[in-house]
A and B are shown apart, each in its own frame.
Chain A
Amino acid sequence: MEKRNVKQNEPATDFKNNGIGAHFEVVGKCLVIRLDQELDHHIALNLREKADKLIERGNVKNIVFDFERSGFMDSSGIGVIMGRYKKVIFTGGKVSVTSVNSAVDRIFRLSGLYKIIEKYETIQDALKAM
């Protein structure tokens, strides 16, 4: 797990995914954000811009952040998730996270973010429950 993440962050592969470090997909009323890189301040900047564009189009109620291909997050990630939560909460939306490893899980627990977001095993589980 750790090895794979280090490899993903080699400068040569940086910006590989259209400069955002994540893939975006709208499934029904749910925006699924699959992170492809470690979620830090660098990734956070582009990520929030792209996510907000999709949210502002009006069809997005809920958001899923999938960490299957991202094994690391720091406090910048907390900011991104809280920020998106604030965007959808007023229309009764929810935010959830999926496939988090123990390192990312610890960040969520320590920050108290699990008080406002749900954790699921897979994207399918989250989509079903939301």
Chain B
Amino acid sequence: MNYSNEMTLEFESISKNESFARIVVTAFITSLDPTLEELSDIKTAVSEAVTNCIIHGYENTVGKIKLNCGILDNTVYIEVSDRGKGIEDISKAMEPLYTSKPELERSGMGFAFMEAFMDELEVKSKIGEGTTVKMRKKIYSTASRS
């Protein structure tokens, strides 16, 4: 896609980088002048996607997580991908409250939050090759509201 602005970042799948990813995306979309609510929606979605890569994709081994973020016409496009183990049954994984790791006290709300807080969510996965989560959200900037 021909974004008006775009950035790609690759970082290791360690839990410290969850907040790093949130901060980077927050900073990147500042130019769109999002509301605090829109900002926390996007932060939550990014946090869930990156956490999934760490816990499920790589199962706490170290691999690379790619974060791609694009802006076009007041819409933010976010892509988070790993080259981890992949998801066997995507629709099952996306069911609210379903988790494959209850022993880790996972709430099973990750995909539900991504769906609730973003306008669109698409998940692609292949066993042994990895998972890509694509999300989109329109920002109704402060400037256009006044």
Main secondary structure of the interface of A (DSSP, over half): helix
Does any Cβ of A come within 8 Å of B68's Cβ?
no
Main secondary structure of the interface of B (DSSP, over half): helix
Does any Cβ of B come within 8 Å of A27's Cβ?
no
Q: How far is the CB of B69 from chain A (nearest CB, A)?
A: 16
Report if A9-B19 is in contact (Cβ < 8 Å); known contacts: A41-B55, A110-B116.
Answer: yes
Q: B residues within 8 A CB of A111?
A: 107, 109
Report if A6-B37 is in contact (Cβ < 8 Å); known contacts: A75-B106, A107-B113.
Answer: no
- Judging by beta carbons under 8 Å apart, are B107 and A41 in contact? no
CA of A79 to CA of B107, assembled, Å = 5
Question: Which residue of the partner chain B has the closest CB to A6?
Answer: B23
- Judging by beta carbons under 8 Å apart, are B16 and A75 in contact? no
Does any Cβ of A come within 8 Å of B3's Cβ?
no
CA of A76 to CA of B22, assembled, Å = 14
- Judging by beta carbons under 8 Å apart, are A102 and B37 in contact? yes
Does any Cβ of B come within 8 Å of A26's Cβ?
no
Could you give, for residues 17-57 of chain A, a 1 whenever the CB lies within 8 Å of some chain B CB and a 0 otherwise?
00000000000000000000110111011001000000000
Does any Cβ of A come within 8 Å of B1's Cβ?
no
Could you give, for residues 34-64 of chain B, a 1 whenever the CB lies within 8 Å of some chain A CB and a 0 otherwise?
0011011001100110010011000000000
- Number of A-B residue pairs with CB-CB distance less than 8 Å in the complex they form: 83
- Judging by beta carbons under 8 Å apart, are B51 and A40 in contact? yes
CA of A5 to CA of B139, assembled, Å = 21
Question: Which residue of the partner chain B has the closest CB to A46?
Answer: B15
Does any Cβ of B come within 8 Å of A121's Cβ?
no
- Judging by beta carbons under 8 Å apart, are A38 and B19 in contact? yes
Q: B residues within 8 A CB of A1?
A: 36
- Judging by beta carbons under 8 Å apart, are B110 and A75 in contact? yes
Checking B15, B20, B39, B113 against A75 with a beta-carbon cut-off of 8 angstroms, the contacting residue is B113
- Judging by beta carbons under 8 Å apart, are B51 and A2 in contact? no
7 new A-B contacts, CB < 8 A, other than A41-B15, A106-B40, are: A9-B23, A11-B16, A41-B54, A42-B15, A42-B18, A75-B109, A79-B107
Some 24 contacts from A to B, beta carbons below 8 A apart, are A1-B36, A2-B39, A6-B26, A9-B19, A10-B23, A14-B16, A40-B15, A41-B15, A41-B47, A41-B55, A45-B15, A72-B43, A74-B44, A75-B51, A75-B106, A76-B106, A76-B107, A78-B107, A78-B109, A80-B105, A82-B105, A83-B105, A102-B36, A103-B37
Residues of B within 8 A of A (CB): 15-16, 18-20, 22-23, 26, 36-37, 39-40, 43-44, 47-48, 51, 54-55, 104-110, 112-113, 116
